Amino acid sequence: MARCEYPDTTGSPRRRRQPIAPNVRERNECPGPGGWHRRTRRLSGPKVGLLLASSSTVRKTRCVIPLLEIASRLGDAWCHDSPSSSCLLHRPTGLSFVLVEGGHFIMGLREDDIEEASEYCDWTRGVAEYVEEIGASARPPHVVLVRPFLCATVLLEEEGYTVDTTREAAIRMACDRGLRLVSEAELEWLLRDGGRFSLTMGAKPRAVGQFTFESSSLGIQDPASPQWAADDWHPSYEGAPAASAPWMDGDPAGVCRSNAPIGAMQAEEDVVTLLAAVRTAGSEALSCAIRLACDVPG
């Protein structure tokens, strides 16, 4: 995808998305006298209360097992990177793994995500329709508990180059190394930097097609690079689990995350492709990078 395609809005006045009340909304957009808006309905109940919580209320889960104890439980393939390091070294791959603290967060496309993206572009009818299109697979938003896990600080490389491959090959390469791919819930946790951001790594436009990103507080490099999740592809989050383990029993084509065409963006509206919740269905023609992970032994 070279860039987002939108209906011609030449000559249209600049229009910001109007603030909306914190309701749970039906996916039903309609034009009206005040412009492009949503019909809304209020729901109630404890689950809705969780979903309406601000991202600032993310609850973190700290791993209480010391790094050296984790390395001991994992076996001889692991050791402490250095006395002053907060990482473990996986000897067979030479990769450093950081212990990512877990927590509860709201996974999927949320209203506050859309509100933030709308601050950086004209919220035209075309943009609203495009967000509905790319957001269909990222709904409904749901609360997920991410368990603490070990995550490679960098993407897998071979001969000095980042591995870019199919999903089937990515799974095989992870298994051959006694590891696994990062799950989709874990990837979104990384892209939101532990629930802090709506846009991938707090992306902010500098100019059309140019963005600045925040550094990862979790110790991860290149989180905004396209990479495979361990999960099968599911067309929506209906029936999605509340745990961060890979969601299987779906389309084996898999799911790619952080697939925004950053280098080819040509319009300010393209910022919506950087929403951390955006997902891409895998295919035989799609190649993505590999980020390895390992469960923390109990």
Please report whether residue 190 resides in a domain: yes
The pLDDT score that the predictor gives to residue 234 is 98
Please report whether residue 29 resides in a domain: no
Among residues 90, 100, 92, 116, which one has the least CA distance to residue 223? Answer: 100
Please report whether residue 103 resides in a domain: yes
Residues 111-138 have pLDDT tens digits of 999 999 999 988 999 999 999 998 999 9
**Angle, alpha carbons 213-218-219 (nearest 5°):** 80
The pLDDT score that the predictor gives to residue 260 is 78
The pLDDT score that the predictor gives to residue 65 is 80
Q: What is the DSSP letter of 232?
A: P
Domain that holds residue 197: 44-295
Q: Measure the CA–CA gap between 70 and 80, rounded to whole angstroms.
A: 9
Please report whether residue 18 resides in a domain: no
Residues 271-288 have pLDDT tens digits of 899 999 999 999 999 999
pTM over 0.85: no
Ordered alpha helix ranges (H), 76-179: 111-118, 125-135, 167-176
Please report whether residue 5 resides in a domain: no
Please report whether residue 121 resides in a domain: yes
Please report whether residue 14 resides in a domain: no
- Please count the structural domains in the chain: 1
Structure-token pair, residue 279 = 């997902």
Q: Measure the CA–CA gap between 47 and 119, rounded to whole angstroms.
A: 28
The dihedral built from the CA positions of residue 20, 25, 29 and 32, taken in this order, carries a sign that is negative
Please report whether residue 201 resides in a domain: yes
Residue type (1 letter), 58:
V
H or E element, residue 29: strand 25-32
Which residues of the chain are under the pLDDT cut of 70?
Answer: 1-57, 59-62, 64, 262-264
Here the CATH number for the domain that contains residue 150 is: 3.90.1580
The pLDDT score that the predictor gives to residue 264 is 64
The pLDDT score that the predictor gives to residue 196 is 93
